[in-house]
Structure 1
Amino acid sequence: MNQPFEFRGLNARPVAEAPGFDDGQGWSGAAGARIVDLHHLLATFRRRLKLFLAVALLVFIIALVVTLKATPLYTATASVMIDNRTEQVVDSQAVLSGLPADTATVDTEVEVLRSRQLAERVVEALALDEDPEFNSALAAPGLADRISNSIDAMFAASAPDKARSRLTGIETQRQRERVVDTVRERLVIRRVGLTYVMGVSFTSPDPAKAARIANAFAQNYLLEQLQAKFEATRQANAWLNTRLDDLRGEVIQAEAAVEQYRNANNLLSASGATLTEQEISTYNTQLATVRAQQAEDEARLSTARAQMARGSTGDDVGEALGSTVVQQLRARRAEVSGRVADLSSRYGPRHPDMVRANRELADIDSQIQAEIERIVSNLEARVQVARQRTASMQGSLSGARGTLAANNNAGVRLNELQRNAEASRTLYQGLLDRFKETTSQEGLEESDARIVSRAIIPGSPSSPNVPLNLGLGLVLAMGAGLAVVVLAEMLDAGLATGEDVETRLGMPHIGSVPLVSSVADARDRHLSPADYLLDKPLSAFAEAIRALRTSILFSRVGHPVRLIAVTSTLPGEGKTTTAVCLARSAAQAGQKVVIIDCDLRRRAVNKLLGIDPEVGLLEVLNGTATLETALYSDDASGAWVLPLTPASFTPRDVFNSPAMDALLTRLGENFDLVIIDTAPVLAVADTRILAARTDAVVFLTRWRATPRKAVGASLKLLDQAGAHVAGVALVQVDMKSQARYGYGDAGYYYGAYKAYYTA
């Protein structure tokens, strides 16, 4: 989409780049942010309310008609539950295991109920392919069907018999598939919450038929489960019986080979082990015992020697602590030590009793030391005995191991034979047990599901659901209405508010001129805008013209505005009417005003003021008439008019001539305001020439009618010509509609201030 351009000097840029850009669709941008303008959206909706209501009503009526004309359909539902409780008639595992009661299994069974195979079984069981409801070929043919059948019969009559029979078979298969597809379309399988219950629903115009088919699906689902288990059991029994015959011979042959090899290699055994193995086991036990005893004796001796090496007298040796003799000697020593202490307190160290007591104490210490040495010597002897016993036991064990090695070499083959025999025997026994179980289970299979409730004949139709359809129709109607409103807004290329002018064109909005019929009383609506301005000088229309004139005069600060060109994009946008109204408004304000008709092709000023001049603008420029004779006075307002004569025509470019420049200079010197009524910018190039010679250009655009792209192109042409565009004014504004259109425009508040004006 092309963006509007603003014209500032000779450089144009997209207005969307300016801060505060509003795209006119209820969004505004400020520093990159987009904010929803609710007032604008609500105003837009109010303006398009009739369109919204028309579209919404149409859609709702269509939904209502479709609902009322729909064929009533009845839905019957049967409930099937996956039963995780299994009847254990025999204590054996089933060939085909039951279904685990988990979410994935329930979802899988839902798909099984929807399967094409189950639908084909129901169609076959109930002969639905012969029911006209499901087989369209059996229904009464319409006109199109009769024509098609005639064509098929014509081609079939010319076909060979074999080809005709082949086509008949293919068509029969396709017809059956269509019946199955129709049945599946009417079927709905739904899991009930997170339970193990599945609802089987079927819809049909016949309530009894709906219940019958729903029950048929549930029953055939159970039968299919039973049939799968029966078939699996029969196949398992047949395979087991054949396999058992083969294994029986293999077991007998393998056991005979084991016994023959055992006898040939003298591998006799008792209690499950050979005699050599039992002997080695005994030796191992005894060797472990003597080794433990040896380790204990060596540890005792090593500890005692370590203590003696550290300077110990032997008192702390473990064996000495447990010796009875040492304990008695230590008791005597304690007694003598007490006596020595007593004597030393009473006598000196040389007293005879004291000397005898010390000698007795030393004798006891020597006896204790001798006893400790005997204990250590005893430990050394015990270690020697333990070592000899261990060596003897190790020799016996080595001899037994040699014998066992020879037996083991022969036992390798024996073990292989035994393993083969055991494997054959185990496999045979397992298959035999399984064969007995499956034989006992045949005829006892049960389905993994059960019917919780059978479908009953529904008493009321399930479709159409009138409240639901009407609710959805209402929602759809509102959605369609909003969509049409949005589409209409997107296609609306006109300008409606001053905000549109400033944001979409990048030009100042200098005024809005209302449509006289939207502000005038019924008795005054026959007046033309120029006459209405004079008759109602205090009206809203007159005030809008004065506001426009004021905006024009102050459009160039520091530069007087005398020469004003009034133009627009296309014809019929009110240029002449606005120019005349501006002139009359200025004349009423006491200014000396002249209006020049420069639209060589229309000469609309003459028609609007009702004058028939003999000389005019072209005659003045050609020099055939003077300016004074060409000016006409508007008696109603006091303004002056320089018209175009009806018969005047020139092929020359008169507006780009020195004579035109001189005329404009003279008029600017003699009049306070010179208003030039020009042709449309896009239609005639003369307007750009005149616009460049004026102080300001008033660009008019018709309210909500002139396309924005055309306005942008016109402004671009004026900018390229070097004209100063004072701004854009909206004309023929319907104030009543404008009051409902948009927030932020002065017209939005027209209802609040219209009583201020005198109609």
Structure 2
Amino acid sequence: MNVHNPPAADPMTDDDGGLGAQRRMGGGLAEQFDLRRLANMFRRRMRLFGAVALVVFVAVVLVTLTATPMYTATANVMLDTRQEQVVNVEAVLSGLPADSSVVDTEVEILKSRRLAERVVNALQLDKDPEFNPALRTTGPIGAIKGAISGALSALTPEEAQDGAVAEQKAQERVVDNVLSHLSVRRSGLTYVINVSFESESPTKAATIANKFAELYLLEQLEAKFEATQQATEWLNTRLDSLRDQVLADEAAVQQYKIANNLLSAEGATLTEQEISSYNQSLADARAQVAEDEARLATARRQLAGGSTGDDVGEALSSPVIQQLRQQRAAVSSKVADLQGRYGERHPEMLTARRQLTDIDAQIQAEIQRIISNLEAQVQVSRQRAGAISGSLSNARGTLAGNNQAMVRLNELERTAEASRTLYESYLNRYKETSTQQGIEQSDARVVSNATIPTGQSSPKVPLNLALGLVLALGAGVGAVVLAEMLDAGLATAEDVEQRLDVSYLGAIPLLSSVAEGRAGSPVDYVVEKPLSSFAEAFRNLRASVIYSRLGEPVNVVAVTSALPGEGKTTTSVCLARSAALQGHRVIVVDCDLRRRSVNRLMGKDPSVGLIEVLAGEASLDQVVATDPATGMRLLPLANTSVTARDVFGSPAMDRLLDELRRNYDLVVLDTAPVLPVADTRVLAPKADAVVFLARWRKTPQHAIEAAFRQLLGTGAHLGGVALTQVDMKQQSKYGYGDPGYYYAEYKKYYVS
């Protein structure tokens, strides 16, 4: 029944305190979501799953069958993006823009409390028992309520006020009930809004749905009409005051002009026109000065550069210079002819040269006259510009005085113009608004009215049953998962090794789950059926313990647990008897000073025992008893062995264990639980190995971890954990890969 696993790191000396906290958190994700593991989980929780699923499904069926049939009627309202343009004026209250947010807003308006109140009042739904819970009560209670309502008129003002509050609350409850039956939603991404109403009566459902659509359109028209009427009244009042203001402002402008002699022509004063003329003349004069100065400067530069004046612009255009140049050209031609014919000293030659020199002198004199003329023109231009500039300065001085008066005039004119503009805009808007009264249009229209439904909308029996089945399955799964999460016990070898990080020593089956027919005591069954699976479990346990410390002998074994009732004594005796049947020298030492469970199990009631041996009051041979069935030896506790002394930590206990090691192959110490008693922490380090027992699916993991912490630092060697009282029939539903998973396949291998 046991598959030995390699021993893990010693939890009593491990750095993390022997608990392996990080690796005991549940294993890897792949292992947690193993399909076989899930299947096994549902196999062992099938009854819980079926019970929860059945209860939920039956509840859904009962609710569906007992529910009142309801009928739903739907009216379709469309936001109309096309508006009739009767007059080409802007409306006081503009139409709704065609975007998604506006459609969603109108949906909320259709679901508003104000609109629901109007529907309730229009159809008197407060008198309908379907929506007014107060009217559903019949019999004496209804009569009492009627009497109370009739007596409200005779109450004092304070009491009547309380009655009015109660009536208002009742009205609010009716509105709440109506809204709870209303469903308004947008049809996809269109501008169509579906207004649905659910009622016990199909006719009533259609009537209320149509009334919601009708009052919604009416509310839009009323809002536009009220806005237009208020705007018209306000504009009319405002125009009267604006008209008086315009007249006053324009009169102030005219009076100021007369007082300050600010006459004007063509939009400008006379001084401004004079300054404008002077500015133009001054600009022309300054341009002429610049032109004359440029001509003079150019001529002077040409002369300064070595020019004879022939290339000066005014000289080129002078008719005198042109004539002199023609004469000079003729004389030059004559000189050239005479020079070739007579030579330089000829009288005619000398005469011709004197003529040429005289002509050149005349040309230079003419050029000097031209330069002098240019200088005179520059002086004249400058004087003209200066005169115009002086006149302009005088005109500007006059204008400065006028401008001081114009500042106030401009302010008065701006005020008058603003008043006039404001008055005209209000007047135009008043005329437009007046023409709109009576032609307001709703921004929506009813596409189709609600018709009387022919079939009920709820409860939908097939859908409810399908959803109920899904809900039942989900509830069953949730119950199974919750039960598994709350199951803090250990069930498989994998649980022990992964969650506790210690070696798994084996499983001790529950005798009733493996024995055929009626079975007696487990300690007797080991002897009576030595080849049974129950006896084989203890042989496997002994083999696991022996090899828990590789390379070191294991003679003294301490059997303990976290809590009482884990099967320590039964396991200790069965382990010893099984080993004795194999021919080993075995002794069981009862170390549980408070319970003395070995005595009760073996039917012994000695007068001396372990305490007397340790105290030196009796010898070991006098105290040890022999099991006649197997030859196992027993060192019991006497009934009077009650002491507060630390007997297990004494040197006498060390000497006793040394003696038992020499004389026996296996020494089994049946100790007390770790958590309630401190004796085991003293005794455990003296053993070669500690066998820690945990009851299958019962002992909480936290209790085991707490016991490990108690043993931490004592120097004890934890051989591993063995599961006791394992139901092998149920174990096959746990842990794919665990030895118990295959019990049905190999149980016939044993002799019952």
TM-score, structure 1 normalization: 0.79
Residues 531-571 of structure 1: CA deviation (Å, up to 9, x unaligned): 65556656554443223212222334454332333333444
- Over 3 Å counting, the alpha-carbon distance change for 1:370 and 1:121 in structure 2 is farther
Distance 1:248 1:171, change over 3 A: same
Secondary structure at the counterpart of residue 674 of structure 1? strand
1:700 aligns with 2:693: yes
Note the C-alpha offset of 1:337.
Answer: 13
For residue 17 of structure 2, give the secondary structure of its aligned residue in structure 1.
strand
How much does 1:214 deviate?
2.4
Counterpart Cα distance in 2 of 1:416 and 1:180: 61
Measure, in 2, the Cα distance between the counterparts of 1:744 and 1:355.
Answer: 150
Which residue pairs with 2:506 in the alignment? 511
Residue aligned with 1:8, SS: coil
Residue of structure 2 aligned with 1:639, choices 626, 631, 635:
631
What pairs up with 1:4-19 in 2 under 5 angstroms? 8=12, 13=17, 15-17=19-21
Aligned length: 736
CA distance in 2, matches of 1:379, 1:660: 146
Say whether the 8 Å CA contact 1:620–1:630 is kept in structure 2.
no
1:383 to 375, 378, 382: 378
Q: 1:42 aligns with which of 31, 38, 41?
A: 38
Equivalent residue, structure 2, for 1:220: 215
Counterpart selection for 1:578 from 571, 589, 593: 571
Give the Å deviation of 1:494: 1.9
Residue 165 in 1 paired to residue 160 in 2? yes
Listed one character per residue, the Cα deviations across residues 566-600 of structure 1 (whole Å, up to 9, x for unaligned) are: 33344443334323332343234432333445567
Partner of 1:82: 79
- Counterparts of 2:327 and 2:533, CA distance in 1: 145
Q: Which residue of 2 aligns with 1:110?
A: 107
Counterparts of 1:331 and 1:545, CA distance in 2 = 155
State whether residues 49 and 480 of structure 2, in contact with CA within 8 Å, keep that contact through their aligned partners in structure 1.
yes
For 2:545, the aligned partner's letter is I
Query: Aligned in 2, Cα 1:335/1:237: closer, same or farther, shift over 3 Å?
Result: farther
Alignment of 1:465-544 (within 5 A): 465-466=460-461, 469-470=464-465, 473=468, 476-518=471-513, 520=514, 523=516, 526=519, 529-530=522-523, 533=526, 540-544=533-537
Paired residue type of 1:129: D
Distance in 1, matches of 2:570 and 2:329, equals 149
Q: Deviations over 1:497-535 (max 9, x none)?
A: 3344345445433222333454x4x74663655565556
State how far apart, in whole Å, the 2-side matches of 1:74 and 1:360 are.
137
For 2:449 and 2:55, the matched residues in 1 are separated by: 44
Letter of the structure 2 residue corresponding to residue 433 of structure 1: N
Q: Distance in 2 between matches of 1:551 and 1:336?
A: 152
Change (3 A) 1:351 1:570: farther
Q: 1:721 to 1:439 in 2, by over 3 A?
A: closer
- Looking at structure 1, the residues matched to 296 and 254 of structure 2 have their Cα atoms a distance apart, in angstroms, of 55
Q: Distance in 2 between matches of 1:536 and 1:365?
A: 165
Q: Does 1:65 align with 2:62?
A: yes
Partner SS state of residue 690, structure 2: strand
* Residue 96 (str. 1) matches residue 93 (str. 2): yes
Q: Distance in 1 between matches of 2:356 and 2:537?
A: 146
Measure the CA separation in 1 of the matches of 2:309 and 2:469: 113
The residue that corresponds to 1:175 in the other structure is: 170
Cα deviations by residue, 1:111-168 (Å, 9 ceiling, x for unpaired)? 333333222222222222222222222223489x669959x95997999543443333
Match of residue 273, structure 1, among 261, 268, 280: 268
1:414 and 1:550 mapped to 2: Cα distance? 122
2:75 aligned counterpart, secondary structure: strand
Shift of 1:103: 4.2
After alignment, is 111-120 or 615-624 more displaced?
615-624
Asked whether 1:555 is paired with 2:559, we answer no
Does the CA contact (< 8 Å) of 2:253 and 2:412 recur in 1?
A: yes
Which deviates the most, 692-701 or 434-443? 692-701
Q: Decide whether the 8 Å contact of 2:605 with 2:639 is kept in 1.
A: no
Which of 715, 726, 730 aligns to 1:733? It is 726
- Matching of residue 295 in structure 1 with residue 290 in structure 2: yes
Report if aligned partners of 2:78, 2:446 keep a CA contact under 8 Å in 1: yes
Cα gap change, 1:210 to 1:630, in 2 (>3 Å) = same
State the secondary structure of the residue aligned to 1:594.
strand
Report the Cα offset of residue 375 of structure 1.
6.0
Is structure 2 residue 136 aligned with structure 1 residue 139?
A: yes
8 A contact 1:603–1:643 mirrored in 2: no
Separation in structure 2 between the aligned mates of residue 107 and residue 281 of structure 1, nearest angstrom: 66
1:709, CA displacement in angstroms? 3.9
Compared with structure 1, are the counterparts of its residues 15 and 209 closer, same or farther at alpha carbon in structure 2 (3 Å cutoff)? same
Do the aligned partners of residues 55 and 286 (structure 1) sit closer, same or farther apart at CA in structure 2, a change above 3 Å counting?
same
Letter in 2 for 1:13: G
Once residues 294 and 278 of structure 1 are traced to their aligned partners in structure 2, the CA distance between those partners, rounded to angstroms, is 25
Q: Does 1:239 align with 2:234?
A: yes
Could you say which residue in structure 2 is the equivalent of 1:31? none
Please report the RMSD computed on the Cα atoms of aligned residues, expressed in angstroms.
Answer: 5.1
Task: State the Cα distance separating 1:746 from its structure 2 match.
Answer: 4.5
What one-letter code is carried by the residue in structure 2 that aligns with 1:72? P
Superposition map of 1:208-607 within 5 A: 208-252=203-247, 255=250, 258=253, 262=257, 267-306=262-301, 308-309=303-304, 379-405=374-400, 407-408=402-403, 415=410, 418-466=413-461, 469-470=464-465, 473=468, 476-518=471-513, 520=514, 523=516, 526=519, 529-530=522-523, 533=526, 540-596=533-589
- 2: CA distance between counterparts of 1:72 and 1:351? 153
CA distance in 2, matches of 1:420, 1:651: 117
Equivalent residue, structure 2, for 1:119: 116
2-side partners of 1:409 and 1:602: how far apart? 122
Query: Which is bigger in relative contact order (C-alpha 8 A, separation at least 6)?
Result: 2
Deviations, residues 392-437 of structure 1 (Å, cap 9, x unaligned) = 3334444444554555556556555555554444444333333332
Amino acid at match of 2:38: L
Give, in whole Å, the separation in 1 of the partners of 2:148 and 2:418.
72
The structural deviation recorded for 1:89 is 1.8
- Are the counterparts in 2 of residues 7 and 716 from structure 1 also a CA contact under 8 Å? no
Partner amino acid for 1:578?
Answer: T
Deviations 1:247-280 (A, max 9, x none): 4455555555655665666554443334444343
**Contiguous gaps of at least 5 residues in structure 2:** 1-8
**SS in structure 2 opposite 1:117?**
helix
Distance across 1 between alignment mates of 2:229 and 2:85: 20
- 2:6 corresponds in structure 1 to none
Distance 1:296 1:617, change over 3 A: same
Q: Residue 92 of structure 2: SS of its match in structure 1?
A: coil
d(CA) in 1 for partners of 2:733, 2:365? 132
Tell me the amino acid that sits aligned with residue 118 of structure 2: R
SS in 2 for 1:13: coil
- Post-superposition CA distance 1:653-691 (Å, at most 9, x none): 796588876665554433322334445455666666665
Q: Identity of counterpart residues, as a percentage?
A: 58
The aligned residue for residue 55 of structure 1 is 52
Mapped to 2, the partners of 1:484 and 1:456 lie a distance apart of 46
Q: Which moved more, 1:736-745 or 1:363-372?
A: 363-372
CA contact (8 A) 1:287 1:394 kept: yes
- TM-score computed with the length of structure 2 as normaliser: 0.79
1:185 is aligned to 2:187: no
Whole-Å separation in 2 of the counterparts to 1:332 and 1:52 = 141
| Structure 1 pair 556–286 and aligned structure 2 pair: CA distance change class (3 A) | same
- 1:727 partner SS: strand
Instruction: Kindly provide the CA deviation profile for residues 322-356 of structure 1, in whole angstroms up to 9, marking residues without a partner as x.
Output: 88999999999999999999xxxx99x9999x999
Q: Shift of residue 174 of structure 1? A: 1.9
* Contact 2:263 2:269 survives alignment (8 Å): yes
Q: Residue by residue, what CA displacement relative to the aligned partner does 1:33-76 show, whole Å, maximum 9, x if unpaired?
A: xx773239636743654234433443343334333433333333
